Amino acid sequence: MLLTRIKGPRDLDRLSQEELDRLAAEIRTFLVDAVSKTGGHLGPNLGVVELTIALHRVFDSPKDKVLFDTGHQAYVHKLLTGRQDFGGLRTKGGLSGYPSRAESDHDVIENSHASTVLGWADGFAKANEVLGKEDHHVAAVIGDGALTGGMAWEALNNIAAAKDRPLVIVVNDNERSYGPTIGGLANHLATLRTTDGYERFLARGKDLLERTPVVGKPLYETLHGAKKGLKDFIAPQGMFEDLGLKYIGPIDGHDIEALESALQRAKRFSGPVIVHCLTQKGRGYEPAVQDEADRFHAVGVIHPDTGLPVSTDAASWTSVFADEMVKLGRERKDIVAITAAMLQPVGLKKFADAYPDRIFDVGIAEQHGATSAAGLASGGAHPVFAVYATFLNRAFDQVLMDVALHKCGVTFVLDRAGVTGTDGASHNGMWDMSILQVVPGLRLAAPRDAEQLRAQLNEAVLVKDAPTVVRFSKGVVGPAVPAVGRIGGMDVLRRPADEVTRPDVLLVSVGALAPMCLEIADLLDKQGISTTVVDPRWVKPVDEALAPLADGHRVVVTVEDNSRTGGVGSAVAQALRDAGVDVPLRDFGIPQRFLDHATRKEVMAEIGLTAPDIARQVTGLVAKLDGRYDSEPAAAVD
């Protein structure tokens, strides 16, 4: 196999055109076989095989910086830079699903949030200029979907201002981000794609000129790189050139020779250049090509021959939300939904099918989505903006200044909150409950089960004068966790087994960690420690009934799948201080560090967010209060 002979990008230099085509076919076969076993981003990588080969033949990585926006299309890049052991892809100790500096010098940026690569590229190009690195080049690959993000256009505005600063921007145009790319940009790119007079003209010319000895190929390249006059005559003027950026394309993104020719010309130019490549997401794998929803953007473990899942999961948090949104839409005509280019992943496809006039896909533009939601709310609608928890970080200012300041009734639904695991550091939803604590008037719900998700979503959309947030985990929703009572707005999930005047521990359980908190209580009970477990349901603001309840216990413990810094535990501690309740408090959550990719269970164990770990520490704390020991560690809890 040719692929096994590729240990680094320069090994590609020795291959003929025929061998390069064989290599592309081998890579596609490898990807389908490997990713079907582990799950991962299959469709995007099948679409960039030839493009990645051409990039690494033209540019000299790692001296030249080859940058990928988001990075979910970097599997081919990994293969060509010596990483062909995909057996542990996205598992602990295995390859990351995104570029990773720890893996290779060829991986430059590993932030897997979209629309950032052009900002990075602008910075690298400026550094080359300042430091006199004239033989260093920068090539940034950005998908057409990522160009719907405002950051990309902020960067383009700066890049275009430097006419003599070399930088190659490769637009990977596959008409999709997760699903089909939407908006004015998509329409413009579609015009460039579908107005094929220019490409037909060049295709006919190429056949003729390549048969012409000596001067044929150089003359074709001259025509292909012709200036604006010729292109304006045959195809519509590109908006990129209107920005002052040189434009090459559209190029067949599956023709290695054409790609290399375009990239070489762009590399030689002494300023910023756009290379517009047309690719097919999922190319070469029929189940992906036939998947109109997202072309197998991301898959679990599948049968490689059919593309069908190996197993069917039980109901997920997302599916519960999806069904409830359809019900809400049926009951209330003012309910509208917003997504940031993730209609399927956040569970809004059913709502879109049922109410196509009440769904708004803003593209990868969370900031705009939040402010647009404020406008919708002010206009009389009640928008529900569903987004991954980690992506709401990008719209914090808009939540604060546009939604909350104006007291707009907008509901934000945060999918994949807490530890998500396999996607790595940037995708864990571990900051939302900290960031949102500072927003005046905002109310935040953390449902513990499917029943509570439905109930709290319904409660959220009734609020008309403030932003509301409902956050839930990734994956399968667990069994119902019934309440045994209610104190204020809080559900009591467990009372001490024996009647005691002052129970030892008040355990405040946040969201989906309720089953684990009940397990902690069981372990404490075996140590003779009496425990009350409550679910606040709405964790912001802190329920007024919590302080007097805490005052009746010896210790308060909070457990959350959010950063300990500024999270629910911090808010509870502040509320107790404000109420003059002087009770020891221990807050358990995610430490203030970025978490490596692994399963959720493995990550939780690594950071000590498990029932035995927490019970052991709480046992030690109660023992100290009892004066049973001064410095000896607590006995282990089985």
Tokens representing 522 are: 């069981």
* CB burial of residue 471 (10 Å; 0-12, 13-18, 19+): buried
Order of strands across the sheet that contains 382-388: 359-361, 335-339, 382-388, 411-415, 468-471, 443-445, 538-540
Query: Residue type at 613?
Result: D
For 124-162, give one letter per residue: b (16+ CB within 10 A) or e.
Answer: bbbebbeeeeeebbbbbbbbbbbbbbebbbebbebbbeb
Query: Residue type at 96?
Result: S
As a whole number of angstroms, the distance between CA 439 and CA 397 comes to 10
| Parallel/antiparallel/unpaired status of strands 538-540 and 443-445 | antiparallel
Q: How far is CA 531 from CA 538, 548, 618, in A?
A: 21, 16, 11
* 444 DSSP β-pair partners: 469, 540
As a whole number of angstroms, the distance between CA 603 and CA 590 comes to 10
Position of tokens 């076969």? Answer: 29
As a whole number of angstroms, the distance between CA 24 and CA 9 comes to 14
User: Please, are residues 597 and 424 in contact by the beta-carbon 8 Å criterion?
Assistant: yes
Integer-rounded Cα radius of gyration of the chain: 28
Tokens representing 432 are: 């939302």
DSSP alpha helices (H): ranges in 195-348? Answer: 197-210, 216-224, 228-234, 239-242, 256-268, 286-289, 317-331
As a whole number of angstroms, the distance between CA 82 and CA 86 comes to 11
As a whole number of angstroms, the distance between CA 172 and CA 478 comes to 40
As a whole number of angstroms, the distance between CA 496 and CA 352 comes to 47
User: Please, are residues 384 and 336 in contact by the beta-carbon 8 Å criterion?
Assistant: yes
* CB burial of residue 356 (10 Å; 0-12, 13-18, 19+): exposed
User: Please, are residues 97 and 41 in contact by the beta-carbon 8 Å criterion?
Assistant: yes
3-state secondary structure of 41: coil
User: Please, are residues 477 and 316 in contact by the beta-carbon 8 Å criterion?
Assistant: yes
As a whole number of angstroms, the distance between CA 634 and CA 624 comes to 9
- Kindly report whether the peptide bond that precedes residue 250 is cis, defined as omega within 30 degrees of 0: yes
User: Please, are residues 171 and 69 in contact by the beta-carbon 8 Å criterion?
Assistant: no
Give residues with Cβ within 8 angstroms of 158, minimum separation 6: 122
Q: How far is CA 16 from CA 23, 48, 58, 209, in A?
A: 10, 19, 14, 21
H or E element at residue 308: none
Tokens representing 545 are: 């009934």
Q: Which DSSP letter does residue 402 get?
A: I
Active site residues: 281, 366, 394
